[in-house]
Amino acid sequence: MASHTIRVLLCKTTMESHDRGVRFLATKLRDAGMEVIYLNFLEPVEVVDTAIEEDVDVIGLSSSVEGHVAVLEAVTSQLQTRGHRRVLVLVGGVIPEEDIAPLQAMGVQGVFGPGSYVSDIIQFIHDHVPARV
Amino acid sequence: MDGTEIERIYAGICDGDKGVIAQAITLVEDRHDQADALLERLYPHTGRAHVIGITGPPGAGKSTLVNEIARIWVTQGLRVGIIAIDPSSPFSQGAVLGDRVRMRGVSGQQHVFIRSLANRGFLGGLSRSTADVVKILDGAGMDVIVIETVGVGQSEVAVCELAHTVVVVAVPNAGDAVQTLKAGLLEIADVFVVNKCDVIGAENTVRQLRQMLAIRRTPDMGDRPSRWDIPLLKTNALVPEGVTDVVRSVDEHRHYLRSSGLWETREARRVTNEVELLLREDVVPRFLDRARQSGLWDTLLPRVISRELSPLNMAHRLAEIPIIASSNADEKE
Ligand SMILES: Nc1nc2c(ncn2[C@@H]2O[C@H](COP(=O)(O)OP(=O)(O)O)[C@@H](O)[C@H]2O)c(=O)[nH]1
Ligand SMILES: [Mg+2]
């Protein structure tokens, strides 16, 4: 029987922050039945390369310093130019209020600040992950 | 998804288009109903690649080693496919796949394609679709395809049923070495690597393993003596050190298989295993469905309950039902 398992690429886009949060989220998504390709740190081009090869449904990026707007800009525009459709892009971390609108404008569908619940992220993925045919 | 879409995917695979290869792998992983048609189309164009299994206990440095091996292959101008398999959680069926953490050195290179797979409950350290993923990478023109899988126990060594060459990775620790032996990993090794030779105790382990290898039974011999002496190699994948020897041994093993005729033997073994699996997991369940839905089932059942027929007798009568549905067969019923 055909059935699709949701695959998620999870990584940080900044080197200096520790990755406890990302690791924790990885195990939670696993417990929710998803397959998580986990990497501690990736450059934007690596994010896109990996997302394409792994054919993920979701890219979850964690960012905890300045610069996430530029990183997300690079990721979303490369996804577009390289024709990788139907991938849900999420970002988590310390995201200032004024960045949210620009992020959403470039196609980042979910922005999850510090106090976010894992259950909300899981629900968001289930609600927004593009259907496969 | 229809025939033209399958044709598009087929063409994309042959072109080596990474996005399409990735999509095709998802199709076979999900057992999409068009996956069979795609594999049917692709199969005649497979059979070129040298398939290499890399197995050993978790943390032995397999992924790190694969990255370094692949780096050398790339400089040799080879196209490299890597399939990294980790277990799914038995509770949620989900998985955390972390092998790529160690493969950043070759990830993203033009002639390298890496895919992480969860075994999705399949036994033997492989996923159910691994053989089909190999076909996709083979059809895409990969010269070498590495399957990295965790090998810890007797049942975790199915990789040798898919690979031409099996590299077993152990670490220097007397206990682990014995453990490796117990797990039956020594029996399946074509190339034996002791990684982490920078740590204390490495020499001891190597000596111990050399003795074990000397008395190892040699399968694959048939009626002629095997001329393959299993190399025991020391590496430090972090530096890296000794990895060129691994690459050389793997290539020598391919030459050995080719020149001795054992390549064909292994191909026959691979195909036999695959067909047996398909019969068990694909044909038999489908036949069972057909049998259950046939009128014959309902006719025979009361006669077995009344002891007129035995269950075995009923099974034999049901076995007359054609396995593959066809219009003829339906008329006959
Ligand atoms: N000291 C040492 N550490 C190594 C060596 N090779 C790998 N490692 C480390 O061992 C750990 C596990 O490596 P990994 O490749 O993920 O192992 P795998 O689980 O077998 O794939 C990582 O922290 C590596 O950096 C080596 O040759 N020497
Ligand atoms: Mg690994």
User: CATH number for the domain including B27?
Assistant: 1.20.5
Evaluate whether residue B266 is within a structural domain. no
Please indicate, yes or no, whether residues B239 and B299 belong to a single structural domain of this protein: no
Total tally of structural domains belonging to chain B: 3
**Per-residue pLDDT at B116 exceeds 60:** yes
Contact B94 A32 (CB under 8 A): yes
Mean pLDDT, all residues of chain A: 88
The ipTM estimated for the assembled molecules is 0.94
Q: Is the pLDDT of residue B332 over 70?
A: no
Residue B240 has pLDDT above 90, yes or no: yes
Question: What is the DSSP annotation of B286-329?
Answer: HHHHHHHHSHHHHHHHHHHHTTSS-HHHHHHHHTTS-SS--HHH
Specify whether the CB–CB gap between A36 and B97 falls below 8 A: yes
Q: Is residue B265 part of a domain?
A: no
B275-316: pLDDT as tens digits? 998 898 888 998 999 999 989 999 999 999 999 999 999 999
B29 with B115, same domain: the answer is: no
Are residues B60 and B36 part of one domain?
A: no
Name every protein residue with a CB atom under 6 angstroms from any ligand 1 atom: B 58-64, 99, 102, 195-196, 198-199, 236-238
Q: Which atom of ligand 1 is nearest to the CA of B60?
A: 20
Cβ distance of B120 and A54 shorter than 8 Å: no
Structural domain includes residue A133: no
pLDDT of residue B203: 86
Distance from CA of B280 to the nearest CA of A (A): 15
Cα A21 to Cα A8: distance, rounded to the nearest angstrom: 15
Reported confidence tier of residue A15, pLDDT bands at 50, 70, 90: low
The better pLDDT of the pair A95, B226 is held by A95
What confidence score (pLDDT) does residue A54 get?
97
**Alpha helical stretches, state H, B16-94:** 18-29, 35-42, 62-75
pLDDT at B222 over 60: no
Is B254 within the bounds of a domain?
A: yes
Note whether B121 and B236 are same-domain residues: yes
Tracing tokens 């020149």 back to the chain, one arrives at B259
Per the prediction, chain B carries an average pLDDT of 88
Candidate from B55, B62, B64 with most ligand 1 atoms within 8 A of CB, to mutate: B64
Position A2 in a domain = no
Q: Give me the pLDDT at residue B35, please.
A: 94
Q: Do A34 and B94 touch (CB under 8 A)?
A: yes
- B25/B145 Cα distance (integer angstroms): 14
Candidates A31, A33, A36, A38; CA nearest to A3 is A33
Contact B97 A31 (CB under 8 A): no
Same domain assignment for residues B192 and B226: yes
H runs (alpha helix) in chain A: 20-31, 44-54, 68-81, 97-105, 118-128
Clarify whether residues B23 and B58 are in a common domain. Answer: no
Nearest by CB: A36 against B29, B93, B96:
B96
The percentage of residues in chain B with a pLDDT greater than 90, rounded to a whole number, is 63
Cα(B215) to ligand 1 centroid in Å equals 29
pLDDT of residue B223: 46
CA of A29 to the centre of ligand 2 (A): 20
Which pLDDT does position A10 carry in this prediction? 95
Q: Is the pLDDT confidence value at B13 over 90? A: yes
Expressed as residue numbers, the domain containing A83 is 7-128
Q: What is the spatial distance between Cα A94 and Cα A64, in angstroms, rounded to a whole number?
A: 5
Question: Is the pLDDT assigned to residue B224 strictly greater than 60?
Answer: no
Same domain flag for B29 and B67: no
Q: Which residue has the tokens 């288009």?
A: B17
CB–CB contact B96 A54 (8 Å): no
Which residues of chain A have a Cβ shorter than 8 Å from any chain B Cβ? Answer: 1-5, 7, 26-27, 29-40, 42, 45-46, 49-50, 52-55, 82-84, 132-133
- The neighbour count for residue B275, using CB atoms within 10 Å, is 11
B224: three-class secondary structure by DSSP: coil
Asked if A2 and B31 come within 8 Å (Cβ–Cβ), the reply is yes
- In this structure, are B99 and B236 located in the same domain? yes
- Cα gap A34→B280, rounded to integer Å: 28
CATH for A73: 3.40.50.280
What is the C-alpha separation between B114 and B97, in angstroms, rounded? 12
Average pLDDT over every residue of B19-30: 96
Residue B27's pLDDT is: 95
CA-CA distance, B250 to B170, in Å (whole number)?
A: 16
Cis? peptide before B219, omega within 30° of 0: no
Give yes or no: residues B126 and B17 share one domain. no
A97 belongs to a structural domain? yes
Ligand 1 centre to CA of B234 (Å) is 14
What are the chain A neighbours of B101 within 8 Å (beta carbons)? 38-40
CATH code of the domain covering residue B145: 3.40.50.300
Does residue B218 surpass a pLDDT of 80?
A: no
What length does chain B have? Answer: 333
**CB atoms A36 and B94 under 8 Å:** yes
B70 alpha-carbon distance from chain centroid: 18
Which residues, at least 6 apart from B305, have a Cβ–Cβ distance to it below 8 Å?
none
The one-character DSSP state at B283 is I
* Residues 6+ away with beta carbon under 8 Å from B27: B9, B34, B35, B38
Residue B68 lies in a domain: yes
For residue B120, pLDDT beyond 80: yes
Domain count, chain A: 1
Indicate if the pLDDT at residue B220 is higher than 60.
Answer: no
Report if residue B268 sits inside a domain: no
Give long-range contacts, CB 8 A cutoff, 24+ apart: B293-298: B294/B318, B294/B321, B294/B333, B295/B333, B296/B321, B296/B333
The pTM of the full predicted model, rounded to 2 decimals, is: 0.91
**Atom 7 in ligand 1: residue holding the nearest Cα:** B61
Q: For residue B96, which residues of chain A lie inside 8 Å, CB to CB?
A: 26-27, 30, 36, 38
What average pLDDT does this structure show over A75-82?
Answer: 91
For the cut 90, the answer to whether the pLDDT of residue B207 exceeds it is no
Domain range for B161 is 46-258
pLDDT tens-digit map of B59-97 = 999 999 999 999 999 999 999 999 999 999 989 999 999
Query: Do B19 and B116 belong to one domain?
Result: no
DSSP B72-105: HHHHTT--EEEEEEEPPPTTTS-EEE-GGGGGTT
> Number of CB pairs < 8 Å for A and B?
89
Minimal C-alpha gap between B32 and chain A (Å): 5
